[in-house]
Amino acid sequence: MIRRQGQRWASSPGFGRRTGFFVGATALAMALAGGLFLLRNEPAPEILSVPATTTTTSTSTTTTTTTVAPTTTLSALEIQKAQEGLAALAANGFLVLSEAGAQMVSAEEVRSWLSLDGLVLQVDVSLVSAFLEQSFADVFVTGNDVWLSATEDGSLETSLSKPDQVCCHPDMAGQVAGRLLDGLSYGTVDLRQEDRHYSPEWVAQTGSTHLIGEFTTYYPAGRPRVTNIHRIAELTRYTVVEPGDSFSLNDHVGRRTIENGFVADGSIVYGVMVQAVGGGISQFATTMFNAAFFAGLEFESYQSHSIYFRRYPYGREATISWGWPDLKFKNITPYPVIIWTSVTPDSVTVQLYSQPWVTGQQTAQWSTSVGVECTKVTTERSRTWQETGAITIDHVTAKYRPEGLNCDGTLSDPEACLFDPEAPVELDPRCPNYDLSTTTTTTTTTTTTTTTTTTTTTTTTEPPATPTTELPAE
């Protein structure tokens, strides 16, 4: 694919010096038929011309050839033929071909590159270089970053990356000058290759060898929220979380704005659906939450949707909004973790690649009532540590309400806290009585060491029988 991208070019060491190609005086017509040419560099020019006379002396052991310099007296006919040859070279202009497209050089421009030094025709390669750099400056042939995938046994596979191509290859001007002096009115030139940052070598430097966690969620194609999901996946792909570091989805992606590639769609505020730029990205947050859940990583901050949507795992999901709530997890392993994302028209997948250290699985789930209308869901996670075989237990929670209702059964108002400072505390930074301390999630952990085969019984609470209105939630 050819893409134009603002004034990207770089001069090479060969550009910026005066370099010339020359054609012999008495055989100027040979310039159009592929005669002898010499590339010269200032300040010590070498002029190649066809000698006027040549004498040869021979002995029994050696042969010596002596070239006599041509006369410096030029006839009017010689000068006329030289000028006609120069005009013939420039008459049709020159067509420059490259993988980025074609560029036509006018006859007038070509003529400005040519000059006569006596009867010697020369091309100023520095002028050719300057023209090409200006003409191809904004041309950019996009390459490909490395692509990650997993084999059936979870081993990491990488595809080859393809370098970008930009102006200008160091020999680009010389190629054009050479073709021109060969009497040709077109020529193909090479662009300069720039390696992509995300290459197989980059993956190898992270030490990642295996898939440690993944999850996929689905959505109807073609809705505005799909644009947002694809955009946040793009912004997150290739992120590396170093050992001991934390990853914040809000901090990494930044505020969701039109300028940053997001569009308006549905979002939940106080249990009511409203339109907001970035609506729908919580589906990506849920997908990432589950990938981290199964990778056994530590959650530092998360919150479930306040309304349950059947496209998400019941009780095991997360939402996100600018400011708060955020999705934040910590890499508790001694190895870097690569966040890898991929999308299709109707799905998004998050994969985490690293080295095997710990795995997570859901081993139990139960529900309790909160107030009149709400439900709290607790999900148990068992983490198995590969090195020791130890198992640790922790929990994640979710609290759901019916759409449009508070837990006490009263109608919810998405703007209530903006007008009533005495409104009940809600987890919304816009509220005057917003209290961040209420967002902290506490989990309990127990540790056991397994020396014999253990059987785990999993109890699962089914989600509500009546589905909530299928609208996107941020």
pLDDT at 285 over 70: yes
- Residue-wise pLDDT for 179-203, tens only, equals 888 877 888 877 777 777 788 888 9
Q: Which residue has the higher pLDDT, 439 or 281?
A: 281
Q: To the nearest whole percent, how much of the chain has pLDDT over 70?
A: 69
**pLDDT (0 to 100) of residue 374:** 94
H or E element, residue 251: helix 249-253
Which pLDDT score, from 0 to 100, does residue 38 have?
33
Q: Which amino acid is at 253?
A: V
Q: Give the DSSP letter of residue 327.
A: -
Residue 326: pLDDT over 90 = yes
Quick one: pLDDT at residue 428? 52
Integer CA distances (angstroms), 323 to 264, 275, 318, in order: 18, 17, 15
Asked if the model's pLDDT at residue 125 lies above 50, the reply is yes
**DSSP states of 122-163:** EE-HHHHHHHHHHHTTTEEE--B---EEE-TT-BEEEPPPB-
Tokens standing for residue 423 = 């409104």
Rounded CA separation 344/155 (Å): 22
The band of 266, judged by pLDDT with boundaries at 50, 70 and 90, is confident
The ranges of the chain annotated as CATH 3.10.20.800 are 2-52+74-194
What does the alpha-carbon distance between residue 118 and residue 70 come to, in Å, rounded to a whole number? Answer: 11
Would you state the pLDDT for residue 168?
72
Confidence of residue 28 (pLDDT cuts 50, 70, 90): very low
Residues 107 and 185: beta-carbon distance below 8 Å: no
Give the range among 94-98, 392-396, 398-402 with minimum mean pLDDT: 94-98
Q: Before 374, cis peptide (omega within 30)?
A: no
- Which amino acid type is present at position 418? L
In 3D space, the residue among 288, 320, 302 whose CA is nearest the CA of residue 474 turns out to be 320
What three-state secondary structure class fits 429? Answer: coil
472 falls in which pLDDT band (50, 70, 90)?
Answer: very low
Q: In the 8-state DSSP scheme, what is residue 464?
A: P
Give, in words, the CATH class of 2-52+74-194: alpha beta
Lookup: tokens for 175: 């190629």
The residue whose two tokens read 């998050």 is 350
d(CA 131, CA 189): 14
Q: 193: buried, middle or exposed (CB in 10 Å: 19+, 13-18, 0-12)?
A: middle
- Tell me which residue has tokens 């194609």: 221
State mean pLDDT over 235-252: 97
Q: Are the C-beta atoms of 460 and 380 separated by less than 8 Å?
A: no
Residue 354 near residue 335, CB atoms below 8 Å: yes
Coil, strand or helix: which one is 416? helix
Look at residue 424 and tell me whether its pLDDT is greater than 70.
Answer: no
Local structure of residue 389 (DSSP, 8 states): -
Separation of alpha carbons 177 and 123, rounded Å: 7
Q: What is the pLDDT of residue 31?
A: 37
Instruction: Give the whole-angstrom CA distance, residue 220 versus residue 283.
Output: 12
pLDDT for the residue 268: 64
Token reading at 110:
């070509």
Position 462 pLDDT exceeds 70: no
39-41 β-sheet, strand order: 39-41, 19-23, 120-123, 114-117
pLDDT band at 327 (very low <50, low <70, confident <90, very high): very high
pLDDT in tens, 54-88: 333 333 333 333 333 444 567 778 778 877 877 88
Instruction: Report the pLDDT value the prediction gives residue 466, as an integer from 0 to 100.
Output: 33
Question: Which residue has 């071909």 as its token pair?
Answer: 97
The strands making up 210-218's β-sheet, listed across from edge to edge, are: 210-218, 347-354, 337-344, 239-241
Name the phi and psi angles at 231, rounded to 5: -65, -45
